Amino acid sequence: MKLYLIIASLLFVQFSFAQDATKNSSPKVWSLEDCITYALENNITVKDAALNTNIAAVDYSKAKSSRLPNLFGSASQSFSNGNTIDPITSSYVTDQIHSTNVGINSSITLFQGNQINNQIKQNKIRFDQSIFLEEVEKNNIILNLLETYLQTLYSKENIVISENNLAASEKEVLRAKARLDAGTIALSDYTEAQSQAATNKYNLISAKNEYQQYIIQLKQLLELSPLEDLEIESIDENMDLINLELDKVEVYTNALGFLPEIQASNLNIAANENELVIAKGRYLPTLSLTGSIGSGYTSINDNTFSDQFNVNFNQKLGLTLTIPIFNRNETKAAVQTARINIEKAAIQKQSTEKEIYKKVETAYQNAVSAQEQVIAAEASKVASEQSYKLAQKKYELGGLSTTDLVISQNTFTNAQQNYLQAKYLNILYHQLVQFYQGNEIKL
C-alpha cells in the first residue's frame, strides 16, 4: 500500500510540473523575417521547385555521360536437339547440343551531327533555367507572405477597434437604461442603443473570425500544423511614410534587370534556339565504334570446357555509319516545330515583361496614392474621434439623441478602419516597390 502511495504521489507531482510548464510556456512570436526564412525551407511549393531543379541537374549529368562508351556483359546457356546449327562452330549437326556463350560488348558514338554536344548544352540551359524558376517560386511565397502577414496585422488591430466600440456601446446601453428609468428618453432611444451594442458585438465576432482565417492562410504558407499556435509580431507604429524618389520607368527597368522571370524567359528562348540546332543535326550521318570480346563451349566438341574457351576466344572491332535518307519527314517536322517554339518563347518573354510592368506600375501608383490616403485618413480619424467624444458628453448631458450618438460612433469607427487600411496599404506598396528594386523585404 505504501509503495502505491509513493508512486501515486510521484505521478501527481510530475503532472503538476507538466501543467505549470504548459501554463508558463507561450507560443513563439513570428516576425515577417521569421516567416520568410521558415517558409523558404518548408513550403511545399518551394520544395517542389527545388526538386525540379534537382531533376534538371540529373538530366544535365546524364547528357554529359552520353559522351562515354557503354559496356554490356552477356551470358547464355542453351540446349538443342535434332537438326540444328552449332552456335559455337556454326556447323550443321544432328545431335543433342549443350552450348555456353559469354561476351562483353561496347560501343561509342563518334559523330552524330554534333547532337551530343548540343544536347549537353541544351540540358545545361534547362538546368540554369530551373534555378531561376525556383527563385520565381521563392519570390511568390515571399510576396504572398508579405500580403497575408499585413492582412493578419490589419485584422488583429481591427479586433481592438471592435472591442473598444463594443465596450463603449455597452456603457451607452447602461446610460440609456438609467435615462429611460428616469423618464428622460423614450423607449426607442434605449432599444436603438441596444441594437448598436448588438451590431458592435456582431462586428467583433466577424473581426475575430477574419483574423483566424488569415492565421490559417499563414499556417498554410508556413506548412504549420492546424493545431499549432501562431502569434505574429506587430510592426513599429512610428514607421515613416514612403518617399518615392525613383521614376516609374526607372523602377520598371531595375525590375527587368534582376527579376528571375526575365532570366528564365531568356534561357527559354536560348533552349529553343538550341533545340533547332539539335533538330537540324538529324540530317547528318551518325558514326559509331563498336567492339566485343567473347567465347563459348559446345558439347559436341571433345575438348574440355577450359580448352574450348581458350580456342573460341574472339575479338571484334568495327565502325558503323548510318546515313539518314528518308525518315518520313520526322526531321523536317522537328525543325519546323523548333522554329515555332522559338517564336512562342519570344512571345512568352514579351508577356512576362508586360505582366511585370503591370505589377510594377500598379505597385508604384498605389504607393504614391497610399501616401496621400494615409495622411487624409489620419486627419479624418482625429477629427471624427474628437467629434465622437463631444457627442458622448452631449449624450451624457441629455443634449443629443441616441441616433445621433450612434451615427457619430459609426463615423468614428469607419474613420479608424479607413486609417488602418490606408496604413497597411502604405506599408504593403512601399515594400513591393522596394522588392522590385531588388531590396530585401523587411518590416
Same domain, yes or no, for 142 and 222? yes
Same domain, yes or no, for 209 and 291? no
* Total Cβ atoms within 10 A of residue 293: 14
The reply to whether 422 falls in a domain is yes
Same domain, yes or no, for 217 and 332? yes
The band of 98, judged by pLDDT with boundaries at 50, 70 and 90, is: confident
Same domain, yes or no, for 157 and 294? no
CATH code of the domain in which 99 resides: 2.20.200
pLDDT of 8 strictly over 50: no
Same domain, yes or no, for 174 and 294? no
Domain that holds residue 40: 35-68+113-284+324-436
CATH code of the domain in which 218 resides: 1.20.1600.10
Instruction: Report the alpha-carbon angle 259-265-270, nearest 5.
Output: 135
Across 58-62, 77-81, 283-287, 406-410, least confident range = 77-81
The reply to whether 85 falls in a domain is yes
The reply to whether 23 falls in a domain is no
Separate counts of helices (H) and strands (E) for the chain: 10, 8
Q: Using one digit for the tens of pLDDT, what is the confidence trace for 102-140? A: 999 999 999 999 999 999 999 999 999 999 999 999 999
* Confidence at residue 122, expressed as pLDDT on a 0 to 100 scale: 97
292, 104 in Cβ contact below 8 A? yes
User: Which of 300, 323, 346 is the last residue before a domain boundary?
Assistant: 323
Sign of CA dihedral 320, 323, 328, 331: positive
* Confidence at residue 416, expressed as pLDDT on a 0 to 100 scale: 95
Instruction: Report the alpha-carbon angle 93-94-97, nearest 5.
Output: 80
Cα–Cα distance measured from residue 212 to residue 230, given in angstroms and rounded to the nearest whole number:
10
pTM: 0.85
The reply to whether 25 falls in a domain is no
Average confidence (pLDDT) over 353-373 = 92
The reply to whether 1 falls in a domain is no
Give me the chain's average pLDDT, please. Answer: 89
Same domain, yes or no, for 333 and 299? no
Strand order in the sheet with 97-112: 70-80, 97-112, 286-298, 314-322
pLDDT of 173 strictly over 70: yes
DSSP alpha helix (H) spans, 259-327: 260-281, 305-311
Query: How many Å is the maximal CA-CA distance in the chain?
Result: 132
The reply to whether 395 falls in a domain is yes
Same domain, yes or no, for 337 and 200? yes
* Confidence at residue 306, expressed as pLDDT on a 0 to 100 scale: 86
Same domain, yes or no, for 399 and 423? yes
Same domain, yes or no, for 99 and 210? no
Same domain, yes or no, for 207 and 227? yes
The reply to whether 226 falls in a domain is yes
The reply to whether 4 falls in a domain is no
What share of the chain in percent tops pLDDT 70? 91
Q: Using one digit for the tens of pLDDT, what is the confidence trace for 67-78? A: 999 999 999 998
Average confidence (pLDDT) over 18-35 = 69
Same domain, yes or no, for 91 and 122? no
User: Which of 299, 323, 347 is the last residue before a domain boundary?
Assistant: 323
Average confidence (pLDDT) over 285-305 = 89
Same domain, yes or no, for 190 and 308? no
Q: Using one digit for the tens of pLDDT, what is the confidence trace for 303-342? A: 788 888 888 899 999 999 999 999 999 999 999 999 999 9
The band of 27, judged by pLDDT with boundaries at 50, 70 and 90, is: low
Q: Using one digit for the tens of pLDDT, what is the confidence trace for 397-416? A: 888 888 999 999 999 999 99
* Confidence at residue 153, expressed as pLDDT on a 0 to 100 scale: 96
Task: Tell me whether residue 315 is exposed, middle or buried, using C-beta atoms within 10 angstroms of its C-beta: 0 to 12, 13 to 18, 19 or more.
Answer: exposed
Domain count, the chain: 2
Cα–Cα distance measured from residue 213 to residue 92, given in angstroms and rounded to the nearest whole number:
85
* Confidence at residue 244, expressed as pLDDT on a 0 to 100 scale: 60
